[in-house]
Structure 1
């Protein structure tokens, strides 16, 4: 029988360029998750400073990311919990001497070691003047204490090819830290439906689970006002969301029955078809076994 994994999604009102305050909030919620027996806790994208590259302090704080990554490793080891601490902005010097920023998600094991990382590939339009993309780097799944996991970030959700590559590499669970707001849709788009972004998330997350026979752990920013969307959730094929938050701040801990993935695959045979030598979609990424 496939195991049940106890996981947590965390969301709160992320303060702009308030790195220590946001870090303290993250640690508080991680400790709550660990106290409820969570094996993995997932934080939102941009959770340390939000996304305000126009503020010069934002670039300064990006240069401090390694310090916080090490702190999260120590916390994971202390609490014996796996962590995906949202995303961390990493600053490097580009080939032309300019500052280069990566939006990176790390998977930290329950012994404090880093098992893998992923740099955002599909950059949302307003981010493109600031962030570098991982481009042609392949999406790779990693072995973790909760199973084989793939990581994506925010706008990657819109691209089914990203999921297909992770599924071809054996991912059963896809973790997605996000900073998705109601205003990511234009005024024109919202004139048709003011809740268009919530509809996007709810429908796409469930669809990705069905079409890939995988589970998704999705963590977003939340809080009062119109700048946050929330909707952090754990979603599975066959049943949809098994835990879903609104726009409140806090942590939600839930048991993921991975046996559902086996039933979904027996029913839909998605992975079986993907493995065929004569698979007919030419955009499929080939993985050497």
Structure 2
């Protein structure tokens, strides 16, 4: 039988612009997760600062990214637990530019305090594009970790099935997704139709992605005070079952749950998604790009001649 992997998902309210306070709160949860036997703990996106890029102090706090990465590395080693510390926004000087480049980065830190994986957010949500630099055409990497083969995505990456396909084609079994997704991310037209539209989006998408990729998804979202639009809904999702645990929309807290890795094997045996992706004649073996579109149109034009 495949092993069980005990995972803790932490739903935090990131107190705005107070990274030390937020780190200390996260550390308390992490120590509790380790005491309960968790092998992995996952935090939300922007959990150190909240998302306030226009605040004059924001970039200065991002300069401290390495300090907090090292704090999490020390904590992982102390507690003998793997930590995925949500995301840490990093500030890096740019050559021939007056402003620093900001990257939204997810790390996987193993139980010995070593960085086993790093991912820079690729698909930036529209308001982020003014402030962050994405990872563009860099490949989605899969990392060997103490809990198995892991891929990482961040928030809006969830909306792109191609990201999951690339990860599972490279062998990922668990996909970790730290998120800062709010109910207010919906526009007025959508909210008028359904004030809970974004919650429906998240629940539907997470279950679909688990089924269609025969993978487990660990989704840690920010929660917060009622009436402020926080979506919460942190959950761990597997095929056949859906959410093994699903938290509420606002409350902070932590849930610890076992992922039975046999479920993933049974799902793949049933759906054979990975087997199809590995075929030489797999008919979706292409990328969406202008060059591919042009080549396709040129080919059709030649056929008509």
TM-score > 0.5 by shorter chain? yes
User: What residue in structure 1 maps to residue 212 of structure 2?
Assistant: 211
Residues 79-128 of structure 1: CA deviation (Å, up to 9, x unaligned): 00000000000011223322110000000000000001000000000100
Is there any run of 5+ residues in structure 2 with no aligned partner, and where? 289-305
Q: Is contact 2:77-2:112 (8 Å) kept?
A: yes
User: What residue in structure 2 maps to residue 9 of structure 1?
Assistant: 9
Matched, 1:191 2:181: no
Q: Is contact 2:12-2:43 (8 Å) kept?
A: no
Q: Is contact 1:216-1:234 (8 Å) kept?
A: yes
> For residues 145-164 of structure 1, what are the structure 2 equivalents within 5 Å?
145-164=146-165
User: What residue in structure 2 maps to residue 176 of structure 1?
Assistant: 177
Residues 143-188 of structure 1: CA deviation (Å, up to 9, x unaligned): 0001100000000000000000000110000000000001011111
User: What residue in structure 1 maps to residue 263 of structure 2?
Assistant: 260
> For residues 39-118 of structure 1, what are the structure 2 equivalents within 5 Å?
39-97=39-97, 98-118=99-119
Larger Rg: 2
Q: 1:281 aligns with which of 263, 284, 288?
A: 284
1:77 deviates by 0.3
Distance of 1:12 and 1:263 partners within structure 2:
33
User: What residue in structure 1 maps to residue 31 of structure 2?
Assistant: 31
TM-score (norm 1): 0.97
Is there any run of 5+ residues in structure 1 with no aligned partner, and where? none
Q: Is contact 2:9-2:219 (8 Å) kept?
A: yes
Equivalent position SS for 1:16: coil
Distance of 1:173 and 1:122 partners within structure 2:
20
Distance of 2:80 and 2:107 partners within structure 1:
16
Distance of 1:137 and 1:219 partners within structure 2:
24
User: What residue in structure 2 maps to residue 119 of structure 1?
Assistant: 120
Q: Is contact 2:13-2:47 (8 Å) kept?
A: no
- CA RMSD for the aligned pairs? 1.0
1:223 deviates by 2.2
1:284 deviates by 5.7
1:12 deviates by 1.7
User: What residue in structure 2 maps to residue 235 of structure 1?
Assistant: 237
Work out which structure has the larger RCO, using CA pairs closer than 8 Å and 6 or more positions apart in sequence. 1
Q: Runs of 4 or more off by more than 6 Å in structure 1?
A: none
Distance of 1:33 and 1:228 partners within structure 2:
24
Q: Is contact 1:44-1:87 (8 Å) kept?
A: yes
Tell me whether 18-27 or 123-132 shows the greater mean CA deviation: 18-27
How many pairs were matched up? Answer: 285
